[in-house]
Structure formats: structure tokens, C-alpha cells
Structure 1
């Protein structure tokens, strides 16, 4: 008897994939805490940058959009581009989606995934042997990695001198993903490194909680905010992220993205749709948060228990900036090496490009039966995979391929 498909991760991409598998009658086991990254690694009071149109988790049947959840929960309908989604509403939506379409999510951690476990792959190899932190061992016919941002937070090398043991919320330097409640910084001097939405919103929330905040950004004019929906040109096609031909192509036609040269693919993933603050954040930011533009950050250290950044200004001077704490809102970087639940043999067999899995049609990796979706797939399918609306493209194609080869 064939084993189930194992889906590792219970965020939007994992839940969407599992829902489509269940709709096809494929046995599936889903592992992880539902919406854990959103619940524990996003700041309290956060608002989603994406519009309602870009924030629904794709389902195999109608009736499970963000608007449907609002109706079911008795909340105001979030429909227009001007409607802003509180993170608490989105978490509630994900939990409702899971309860409706993916019951039985197992709140355990997958310790290891290795090749083996008998012929469970339906003609695509020898299946996979999984071990859970509960001690259970079982065989899966295929594995879908949908771990989202987990373990991928990025601390640039120039900041590591002040975080020898890694970023820590109680140390001199932390990563923005490590803070759910920014009220702990009330009365303190805080530096936030970065210029994207995460940096700017973290700075605003900390300032509103009573901290004295400076954003340190690398690049002139790096701190910027998008135009509100009513100011965007109507002569350009509409996409979930705004009106632009490039955004339209990347949103609805990601198929050819993986054929671009590697350098181009990785560049576009980093630059398209960011760094840029949401239009609604500008008013809360200006006049409340200071900005220091520097040519580069040369290094960091700790003096007298306080983190100190060594920076080079555009005037060519070397200066030092200190604070009570530094938050690195420096994003995430996919690295197969960080996915230590994948066995050594699997990781060595995976074809990668700059640490990210190289995926073919149907989100398949170079190891038959092993699939990646969500952020780890962005280098192959484009920036849309960084956003919830990417589930509409990814889940259907991944499941279609998996069912055809391993079903």
C-alpha cells in the first residue's frame, strides 16, 4: 500500500497544497503549527502590505477566500485595494481555512527526511523515510517542503561582529522575525537596519510603543513608499501588487521565469516589489522615525554593552552609530543547508543555484518525489512565490504533477 504524501509546513502554501491533494483523494499528512510564522514571528499590530485580492489562499473549490472568512466570522468585508488587512485577521483566516479544508494537521516537527522506506513513490523511486519528534517513523510516497520563512532569517556579515552567537532578542543585535511584541523597547534607543516594509513597519511600531528609533538604510533615497491605489496609472494592467506590465507578467505568467539566466532570476527576486514601504505607512513614519542614509555598513561591535555600527557616509567619512539595540530587518535567504531536516544524501543530490533548489515543471526538484513551494521556489518561479497569491499558481501545478507521477 502506498504511503501518504507528507507536507512539511502549515502556512498558506502548505495548507493550499494539502487542500488540493485531499480534493484529489490523495492521502496526505501535514506537519507543523498552523500559521506559526505569522503568529509568532510577525509584530503585534502589523498590517499586511498586500491587498485583499493578493491575500486569499488558493482552494480546490469556491467558498474559502479571505472575503468568505470575513463573512463567516462576522468581520467587515475586505474587498477594495484600499482595505488594509490586520495580521490578526489573516491568521484567523488561515486557521479557518485549515479547519475547513485540512483537518488533522499534526503539531509535530519532522526531524529527518531520507530516501528509503520501501516502494512508495508510484514508479518515481523508493519513497521517503520520515522521522518525527514524537519518535514515529513512516514512509511517504512524496514530500512537499512548504516551511516558509522558518530558519531562513538573514543577518548580513557586517552585523555579525555584534552578534557572535547569532541574533538574539535579548542580545545586542536581533532579527526582525524575533520580535512579536515591540513594547519591550519603550524608552530605549533603537536602530533598525533596512529599508523594506519589514524595517519601516517595525520602526513605526517600536516608535509608537515609546522607543526612539532611527532607520539606517544603505543607499540614497532607499526609504520610499508606494503610491496609493487611486494614484496608480489606469493605463497599465492591474495585478495583485499594483499596476505595471512587469508585475502583471510575474503574477500571471511565471512559467518561463525558470528559463532566465540565474543571475537575472536571483536579482529579480530581490528587487521586484521591494524594498518599498506600503502607501498607508508613510503618514505614521514621517516625523516619528529618523532616517540615516549611509553608503555602507562596514562592521559592528559592542562597546560598554551597547551595539555600535561602523558606517561610511556619502561624504566619505567613517562614523559610529550606537543604540541600546539593533534590529536587522534584512529579510530572508533561502539556503538548503539550513533545512537540516533533509538528510545529507538528499541535500547532496539536490541541484541548487546559490543555495536554492532548482525546480522543474510542477515544482519538482532534481530528487524524484521531492517538491518545494513558497519562498524556496522563488528563484525558479519568481517573486510571486513570496506572496500568498502565489498559491493559486503553485498549488494546482504542483499537485497536478505529483498526482500524475506519484498518485
Structure 2
């Protein structure tokens, strides 16, 4: 029986595992290290966040991106975008140095068990753990517009499905969205010989400004502080005060998670994008069908009239939705029993990232509705890791988890929370 099983080996899972191992906990971490960065981001992309705001977190702060870049002989400096490939290599370097060996098997099921949880892998093996940390990243939660959902992957895909865009060379591709993923995907498509078109509901593309210098003097810094999420007091508050976001009413937190730091392109992408990618802005996707092997999209224009465009393929760069119902690796009765936040389907977490089921913790995107938008970025891993591990250690010193009776009838999130609290 392990003290902790960490499911997911991206920036959050690796950071939590580093803290847990340093605290002397017996742990297992599952997943392919940096998988979404290695396999689900197009080659040629750059990190949008500043390098200094993109550290994975170990307790001693030894395994930073700055140290990695110095060892490898390249610069990771403020105001200079870092290739995704370099950041991925940093994550793998961190994994080799800061955490126990990563078990690359896929976890297929987590169920309640005596004194904790049973964690089953794809090959049929099962291990016991007193606590479980769900650090699965964003891939289970891709959001695809309904008109595209039934077209099949040969005609429509999510942007996270692509690592090599060169396969689209010579083809006409429509990209849906107006955020960084959409803008950079469309740009890379053009640079690799495809014929992209951007379609977005937004009436204009928004661009982040060139980052302010870090050394600006006390007065200028006080007027416009710089944080890991950008410049300005609002971004600073989201970056530095996730605990304060968590104290807000549920409806306010949901609104912040849904709208804060909305779609925008990185400043360094603007010129490349504008000279290569035509766009239909203010156009809402209404319908999609396949006709003679091509995708025919029906769009609603700003004046409410409709128009039709065709493409060989459609890529939906439309983000991710935190939703427990999509987390199939959690046993269904366990999933239903977790208290969710407000009207959404994200877990309502306490200050230690623990859900209403004792010993079950969540990080990253699933924690954003509780702690705010910093949890959508690598930057949030530093806030998360130490607090979560401290809470897990406290849980291990406390009382045992109650088992969910089997078979269990479906329960509401409210009733489930009451039924699962410690006796």
C-alpha cells in the first residue's frame, strides 16, 4: 500500500511527486512523462508563458528551467519565446532528477478500497494507495463544437490531436477559434505548405502586448506589476492569490474560470499570422457536413445571414472544459459522489486541493474553477505542489476513508458529499 498514487506525469504530476518524495512518502507516479507536450502540440510551437514563469517545482527549487538551460547551453530569458521542444526536454530532465521512476503504464480505473484506493493499469495490474492525485492535464477534456462532433477524425479534429502538421501540406484547412492554439496552429499550417483559414466568433483577434521589462523601478512596478500570468493588478492577483479566489462565491469562481485571461495571441506571433492567414471573424459555426469528401461548414455572419465555406479538414482549437463526467478512469460511483462546484462539473476542492472524497486530490484544469486561471498554466504547479502534499500528509495522519457501499445507486453531488464525509 503506497502513501500516494499520482496519475499523470506532466508539470503538475511531476511537481507533486517531487514534493511527496522529498517528504518521505512512498509514491507511485503513472503516465508518460510530458506526454501532452511531446505528442499533442504541433512541432514548431513556442511556449506562450515567460520562461521564468514556467518552472516545474521541487521543494528545494534546484531543478529550474534556468538551471536546465544553463546546463544545455541556451538562454531562457524574459521576453524571448521558448520552443515547446526545449520546454518538453526540461520536463523530462526534471523527471529524471526530482521524482522516483515514472511508471509509464496507463491507469484505467480508480476505485475506493479499504484504507484508500485501488489503482488498476491497462495490463490488469492493481496497486493500493492511501491517497490519489489526479493530474491528468487537459487531454480528457477537449471541447469540440457540436456540429463537428460526428464528422469523424478524417474530417475534423481537435488541435491537441496534432504533433506534425506537415501532413496537411497542399490541403485547405479551416481552424476554428481565436486563442493562441488557433492562431499558432493556423500560422504553422501556412508555414508548412497548407492553405489555412481562421473562423472565429470574436469580432477581432486580440494580441498580448510585448512584455514589460522586469527591471523598471519601484514606481512603475507598483503601477503595473508583472506576474507569471502577465502584467497588471488583475493578472497579479490571479497569479499570487489563488487562495483568495477560492474564498469567492461559487458563481463568481465559475465566471472567473470561464472568462479570465480569455483568448489572445502572443505578441511574437502577430506578424507571422497576419501575413499568411485569412480570417472570417464574427462568424459563428452553425452546421457541418461532409460533401464529396470535403467538409462543408455553415456559418452565421455578423448580420445573421448565413454563408458556406468548404475545407479538406477542420481543426477545432476550441479549448478544454473541466468536467468530471469525462474522467472515465474514476469509477462511476466514485465520480458521481464527488461534490462539484456550482452548476459545473468540476470538483469543489478545499484549500489543500482535496475533493469531498477524503484522500482524492485534483490538480491543473480541474482545479481552476476552485483556485482560478493560474491553474490552467504551468505557473500554477508551484502553488499547488507543496500545499497538496501537506494536505495529503495530514490526511494520512487522520482517519480512514469510508468505503462506498456496492452496488451503489446514483447520488447527487450534494447527497454524495454528506454520505462520504468521515464518520
Q: In the alignment, which residue of structure 1 is the partner of 2:372?
A: 382
Among 287, 290, 301, the alignment partner of 1:299 is 287
Residue 274 of structure 1: how far off its partner (Å): 2.4
Determine helix, strand or coil for the equivalent of 1:151.
Answer: helix
Q: Which runs of 5+ in 2 are unaligned?
A: 215-219, 398-423
Q: Give, in whole Å, the separation in 2 of the partners of 1:278 and 1:164.
A: 31
Contact between 1:54 and 1:387, CA under 8 Å: does it hold in 2?
no
Among 130, 151, 165, the alignment partner of 1:141 is 130
Among 188, 201, 211, the alignment partner of 2:184 is 201
Among 111, 116, 136, the alignment partner of 1:114 is 111
Runs of 4 or more off by more than 6 Å in structure 1?
none
Q: In the alignment, which residue of structure 2 is the partner of 1:328?
A: 316
Aligned length, in residue pairs: 389
Among 79, 83, 98, the alignment partner of 2:95 is 98
Q: Give, in whole Å, the separation in 1 of the partners of 2:380 and 2:252.
A: 20
Q: In the alignment, which residue of structure 2 is the partner of 1:44?
A: 43
Contact between 1:294 and 1:311, CA under 8 Å: does it hold in 2?
no
Q: Give, in whole Å, the separation in 1 of the partners of 2:303 and 2:253.
A: 34
Q: In the alignment, which residue of structure 1 is the partner of 2:265?
A: 277
Q: In the alignment, which residue of structure 2 is the partner of 1:319?
A: 307
Among 181, 186, 209, the alignment partner of 1:227 is 209
Q: Give, in whole Å, the separation in 2 of the partners of 1:369 and 1:46.
A: 37
Q: Give, in whole Å, the separation in 1 of the partners of 2:213 and 2:289.
A: 44
Residue 103 of structure 1: how far off its partner (Å): 3.0
Q: Pairwise CA RMSD of aligned residues?
A: 1.5
Structure-to-structure mapping, 1:3-14, within 5 angstroms: 3-14=2-13
**Is 1:153 equivalent to 2:151 in the alignment?**
no
Residue 269 of structure 1: how far off its partner (Å): 1.8
**Aligned pair in 2 of structure 1 residues 156, 44: CA closer, same or farther (>3 Å)?**
same
Q: In the alignment, which residue of structure 1 is the partner of 2:228?
A: 240
Residue 259 of structure 1: how far off its partner (Å): 3.0
Q: What TM-score do the two structures reach when normalised by structure 1?
A: 0.92
**Is 1:367 equivalent to 2:357 in the alignment?**
yes
Residue 256 of structure 1: how far off its partner (Å): 2.3
Determine helix, strand or coil for the equivalent of 1:357.
Answer: coil
Q: Give, in whole Å, the separation in 2 of the partners of 1:266 and 1:327.
A: 27
Q: Which runs of 5+ in 1 are unaligned?
A: 119-125
Residue 96 of structure 1: how far off its partner (Å): 0.4
Contact between 1:58 and 1:389, CA under 8 Å: does it hold in 2?
no
Q: Give, in whole Å, the separation in 2 of the partners of 1:307 and 1:266.
A: 34
Q: Deviations over 1:291-316 (max 9, x none)?
A: 10134221111111111111111123
Q: In the alignment, which residue of structure 2 is the partner of 1:392?
A: 382
Determine helix, strand or coil for the equivalent of 1:20.
Answer: helix
Q: In the alignment, which residue of structure 2 is the partner of 1:288?
A: 276
Q: What TM-score do the two structures reach when normalised by structure 2?
A: 0.89
Q: Which moved more, 1:378-387 or 1:303-312?
A: 303-312
Q: Give, in whole Å, the separation in 2 of the partners of 1:156 and 1:292.
A: 17
Contact between 1:7 and 1:144, CA under 8 Å: does it hold in 2?
yes
